[in-house]
């Protein structure tokens, strides 16, 4: 058994190790064949050489994170553990998108989320495609809020198609806005993490942030704006073409969708699926694919996505 000792110099032990060394215990549980022990300002790693290398890389990445942000929380530890088989996002790049309303750092947490940020900086139109929980909408909203705060755009427009996913809009109470708002709730939740409530209310009242169903985009020219189309898998090809042709000068557009959750009638082709095949050769359009490894919700969500993917593959083989 090989042993490696890492000495923590100029580090606040509670902020790095966590309460009662919880962060180190998370790493230890992730590598049951090795021993990871914290004593004073030393971390001792005992195990096989390949595992020690992996654990050492994770701890060094967390030390790099600590030197930038002054604290390591459990979510960060879990992220680095889950990414130990992937390229770790380069923390030397200033990857903070903004600080949330409660002071939390909002930034890409997986390599594919980081690719989304990079693609948005290089292209005026980006398709972000992946399953639920991969952060594609959240990161896109953060990019839009950052652009507004930095005065790169004058407004944010966020839209999604009002498609009934097994529920009937006609039986919901209220006027059209009240019927549609529940479908836009994830957008409001994301904005609530990033913009103080009073400021968000001011932005909405003055049309600086506009959240509306896709049908409201027809006939408009969207310029000097950061535009996000969410749930694009539920657009028809004509709806998505209509939306794409709204782009005006100084516009930035991100389109997000999940090809596994199409709620259109069986005989209706998804505009998102159609657009990926039609537009993939156009310069200035970026395509980013996220997968179960990017899930930042409950750990079981990743397993659920993988289980459904396996079932879909079996059905395709039988057919």
92 is a domain residue: no
Query: What is the CATH number for 154?
Result: 3.40.50.300
Residue 166 scores a pLDDT above 50: no
Per-residue pLDDT at 92: 39
According to the per-residue pLDDT averaged within each range, which of 82-86, 115-119, 186-190 is highest?
115-119
Last residue within a domain, chosen from 51, 82, 113: 82
- pTM for the model stands at 0.65
The answer to whether residues 244 and 139 belong to one domain is: yes
pLDDT of residue 261: 87
CATH code: domain of residue 53 = 3.30.1370.10
Taking each helix axis as running N to C, give the angle between helix 237-244 and helix 271-279, from 0 to 180 degrees, rounded to the nearest 10: 60
Cα four-point dihedral sign 95, 99, 103, 108: negative
Q: Taken in order 281, 119, 249, 216, is the CA torsion positive or negative?
A: positive
Q: Where is the domain boundary, 20, 54, 82?
A: 82
What pLDDT, on the 0 to 100 scale, is given for residue 68? 67
88 domain residue, yes or no: no
Instruction: Tell me the Cα Rg of the chain.
Output: 22
Q: Write down the pLDDT at residue 180.
A: 61
Pair (298, 187) in one structural domain:
yes
Q: What is the pLDDT of residue 174?
A: 56
- Residues 110, 46 share a domain: no
The tokens describing 131, both together, are 């399953």
Are residues 70 and 140 located together in one domain of the fold?
Answer: no
Lookup: tokens for 109: 């947490």
Average pLDDT score over the chain: 83
pLDDT single digits (tens) 254-294: 999 999 888 888 888 999 999 999 998 899 999 999 987 77
More confident position, 64 or 93: 64
Residues 40 and 120 grouped into a single domain: no
133 in any annotated domain? yes
Answer yes or no: is pLDDT of 97 > 50: yes
Do residues 70 and 179 both lie within one domain?
A: no
Q: Which of 54, 82, 110 is the last residue of a domain?
A: 82
pLDDT tens for 185-216 read 788 888 988 998 888 999 999 999 998 888 88
Number of domain units in the chain: 2
Per residue in 42-60, pLDDT tens? 999 998 888 888 888 888 8
Residues 157 and 284 reside in one and the same domain: yes
pLDDT at 86 exceeding the cut of 60: no
Q: Which range marks the domain in which residue 28 is found?
A: 2-82
Distance CA 221, CA 247 (A): 6
pLDDT at 113 over 80: yes
Q: Are residues 152 and 242 part of one domain? A: yes
Q: Which residue, among 124, 143, 146, has the nearest Cα to 135 in the 3D structure?
A: 143
Give the bridge partners for 156, in sequence order. 209, 226
């Amino acid at each position: 058994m090989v042993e490696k000792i890492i000495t923590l110099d100029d580090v606040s032990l509670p902020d790095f190790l966590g309460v009662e060394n919880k962060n180190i215990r998370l790493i230890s549980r992730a590598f049951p064949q090795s021993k990871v022990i914290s004593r004073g300002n030393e971390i001792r790693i005992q195990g096989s050489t390949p595992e020690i290398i992996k654990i050492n890389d994770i701890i060094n990445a967390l030390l790099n994170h600590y030197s930038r942000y002054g604290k390591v929380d459990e979510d960060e530890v879990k992220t680095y553990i889950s990414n130990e088989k992937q390229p770790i996002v380069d923390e030397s790049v200033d990857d903070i998108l903004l600080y949330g309303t409660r002071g939390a750092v909002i930034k890409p947490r997986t390599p594919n989320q980081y690719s989304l940020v990079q693609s948005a900086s290089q292209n005026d139109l980006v398709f972000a495609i992946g399953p639920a929980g991969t952060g594609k909408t959240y990161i896109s909203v953060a990019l839009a809020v950052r652009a507004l705060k930095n005065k790169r755009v004058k407004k944010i427009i966020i839209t999604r198609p009002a498609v009934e996913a097994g529920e009937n809009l006609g039986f919901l109470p209220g006027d059209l806005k009240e019927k549609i708002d529940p479908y836009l709730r994830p957008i409001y939740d994301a904005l609530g993490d990033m913009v103080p409530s009073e400021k968000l209310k001011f932005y909405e009242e003055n049309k600086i942030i506009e959240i509306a169903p896709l049908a409201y985009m027809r006939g408009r020219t969207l310029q000097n704006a950061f535009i996000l189309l969410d749930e694009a898998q539920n657009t028809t090809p004509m709806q998505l073409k209509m939306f794409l042709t709204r782009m005006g000068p100084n516009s930035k557009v991100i389109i997000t969708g999940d090809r596994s959750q199409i709620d259109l009638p069986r005989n209706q082709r998804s505009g998102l699926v159609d657009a990926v095949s039609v537009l993939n050769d156009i310069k200035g359009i970026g395509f980013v694919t996220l997968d179960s490894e990017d899930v930042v919700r409950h750990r079981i969500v990743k397993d659920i996505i993988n289980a459904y993917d396996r079932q879909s593959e079996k059905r395709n083989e039988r057919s």
